[in-house]
Amino acid sequence: MLLYLRLLKESFAFAISALTNNKLRTFLSLLGVTIGIFSIIAVLAAVDSLDRKIRADLNKVDKNTMYLKRFSFAPSDIPRWKMEQFPDVTYDEYEKLKESVPSAQYMAFQVFTNNETIRYQDKSATDVNMIPVSHEFIDIQSDKIGQGRFYNESESNAGAAVVVLGYEIAQALFGDEDPIDKKIRMYGQRFTVIGVLAKLGSGGLGMPSNDTAAIFPVNFIRRVYGDHNDFMTPIIIIKPFTGADPEAVKADLTQKLRQIRGIKAGQIDNFMIDIIASFTEFIDQIVGVMNLVGWIISGFSLLVGGFGIANIMFVSVKERTGLIGIQKSLGAKNRFILLQFLFEAVILSLFGGILGLLMVWGIAAAATSLLDFEFVLSFSNIMLGTGLSAAIGLVSGILPAISASKLDPVEAIRSGM
């Protein structure tokens, strides 16, 4: 055991000597390993961070929540041009489904529409995410009310001019002033602020956060603009009871809507129902593809890095041929010489890998502080980078180590003189 510890110590000393005595040559040789480890760990860390963020945002909504509309969020066997011909869901269908699907605990009618500018006195908030939706929305989402209240069923049905603002919009318009019962202007009319959402943080899945939203009764926009406009896309959001089988609820919804629309047996559904839980499978596929692409791209850098380590080790063997001959003449076995050079190759490669990991850590820390997104360099990715570095050193150093271990002591001493 002591012999191997001494061997490791000597190999570490030789590796440090190679780094200090031939700085440029060693740097260029290790650059491939550094870039390779940086590339693969940076990609994995970015994908891992994105995956965590998306899943955290999905967890804000019950995974059994469903979205009924004329198009699909996820890839579908039905071509896009065919879905374009499907009719939009209607408020009348929403009311009928709410009455006829007892397995749905909550059902809300929402319209996707254009962003707008909101004004209060001399202040304005631009590019506000407008969310016209029925009163059940607050029961389906996990959003919390920070101040005031959400509008009730009566206000929702009447299309009252009341609004609940996202945290950032309220701050932009009112600052430290109490926004409740204040009048703001949007859609050319005055709205009464009755509530402000608690701060949520950044959105996920490429969607804006409700911090930058204005939520108001969907019947207001229906009353003002009607139900058929190019800038309005209606959807129905369904939240089943806890413990209910989402597929059974989906089947019940499908059957009831087919009856409402008069779709005959054998005809395809002219609507789409997406379940939030199905997004996790879709996300897993995307993450898998991104990781695969990252490995392929980074693999070339790792290959170059391996050649660099092999090159520096062959040079090291050449420079220390005489020393190898002396060691063997004094009784050093082939295994000792082999392990000495293998350890040295692994240590050199680890230097490059650690440098690559430090670069990833620095960039992740800087990006996290500058952007509203947390980049995470997980312990598993650190261990993966370290393991890859060691593996590259092991594979790249095996041939130089074998060639060193097989040198004839007399010829080695003569060549080194």
Q: Is residue 309 part of a domain?
A: yes
Enter the DSSP assignment of 332.
-
Q: Are residues 331 and 393 in the same domain?
A: yes
In terms of residue numbers, what domain contains 169? 87-270
Q: Are residues 53 and 143 in the same domain?
A: no
The residue among 270, 297, 321 that closes a domain is 270
Q: Are residues 143 and 24 in the same domain?
A: no
* pLDDT value for 380: 83
The residue among 213, 241, 270 that closes a domain is 270
* pLDDT value for 3: 62
Give the angle 206-209-70 at the CA atoms, nearest 5°: 55
Longest dimension (CA), the chain: 101
Query: In angstroms, what CA-CA distances link 55 with 84, 198, 203, 372?
Result: 29, 21, 11, 17
Give the angle 209-213-215 at the CA atoms, nearest 5°: 130
Q: Are residues 123 and 252 in the same domain?
A: yes
Q: Are residues 206 and 294 in the same domain?
A: no
Q: Are residues 100 and 139 in the same domain?
A: yes
Phi-psi region of 131 (alpha: psi -120 to 50; beta: other; left: phi over 0): beta
pLDDT > 80? residue 415 = no
User: Do residues 271 and 86 lie in contact, with contact meaning Cβ atoms separated by under 8 Å?
Assistant: yes
* pLDDT value for 164: 96
State mean pLDDT over 355-376.
82
CA 343/CA 330 separation, integer angstroms: 21
Q: Is residue 178 part of a domain?
A: yes
The 3-state DSSP class for residue 217 equals strand
Q: Are residues 248 and 346 in the same domain?
A: no
CA 326/CA 251 separation, integer angstroms: 81
Q: Hey, how many other C-beta atoms are within 10 angstroms of the C-beta on 373?
A: 13
- At which residue do the structure tokens 């009319």 appear? 189
Output Rg (C-alpha) for the chain, integer angstroms: 32
pLDDT > 60? residue 42 = yes
φ/ψ of residue 323, rounded to 5:
-65, -40
pLDDT > 90? residue 107 = yes
Confidence of residue 45 (pLDDT cuts 50, 70, 90): confident
CA 350/CA 51 separation, integer angstroms: 28
CA 42/CA 177 separation, integer angstroms: 44
User: Do residues 68 and 273 lie in contact, with contact meaning Cβ atoms separated by under 8 Å?
Assistant: yes
Return the H-helix or E-strand segment holding 154. Answer: helix 153-158
Confidence of residue 7 (pLDDT cuts 50, 70, 90): low
pLDDT > 90? residue 399 = no
Q: Which of 97-101, 126-130, 290-294 has the lowest mean pLDDT?
A: 290-294
pLDDT > 50? residue 204 = no
Query: In angstroms, what CA-CA distances link 185 with 119, 121, 131, 245?
Result: 5, 9, 15, 44
Q: Which of 13-17, 269-273, 321-325, 348-352 has the lowest mean pLDDT?
A: 13-17
Return the H-helix or E-strand segment holding 123. Answer: strand 123-133
User: Do residues 94 and 109 lie in contact, with contact meaning Cβ atoms separated by under 8 Å?
Assistant: yes
- The structural domain count of the chain equals 2
Q: Are residues 265 and 380 in the same domain?
A: no
**Structure tokens belonging to residue 315:** 């040079």
Query: In angstroms, what CA-CA distances link 310 with 29, 31, 339, 393, 410?
Result: 9, 13, 15, 8, 25
Select the highest-mean-pLDDT range: 46-55, 131-140, 333-342, 359-368: 131-140
**Structure tokens belonging to residue 264:** 């005959």
Q: What is the DSSP string of 67-107?
A: EEESS-SS--SS-HHHHTTSPPP-HHHHHHHHHH-TTEEEE
Q: Are residues 286 and 210 in the same domain?
A: no
State mean pLDDT over 5-32.
69
Q: Is residue 18 part of a domain?
A: yes
In b/e form, how buried is each residue of 289-323, taking b as 16+ CB within 10 angstroms?
A: ebbeebeeebeebbeebbebbbbbbbbbbeebbee
Q: Are residues 52 and 121 in the same domain?
A: no
Confidence of residue 93 (pLDDT cuts 50, 70, 90): very high
Q: Are residues 112 and 260 in the same domain?
A: yes
- At which residue do the structure tokens 């290790």 appear? 30
Q: Is residue 275 part of a domain?
A: no
Query: Which of the pair, 184 or 210, is modelled with greater confidence?
Result: 184
Q: Is residue 181 part of a domain?
A: yes
Q: Are residues 215 and 114 in the same domain?
A: yes
Q: Which of 188-197, 220-229, 262-271, 303-312 has the lowest mean pLDDT?
A: 303-312
* pLDDT value for 210: 84
State the average pLDDT for the chain: 82
CA 251/CA 296 separation, integer angstroms: 42
83 CB-side CA count, 13 A: 16
φ/ψ of residue 108, rounded to 5:
-125, 150
Q: Which of 5-14, 244-253, 382-391 has the lowest mean pLDDT?
A: 5-14
* pLDDT value for 205: 47
The 3-state DSSP class for residue 189 equals strand
Residue type, 387: G
pLDDT in tens, 206-255: 456 788 999 999 999 999 888 878 788 999 999 998 888 888 898 999 99
Q: Is residue 33 part of a domain?
A: yes
pTM for the full predicted model:
0.65
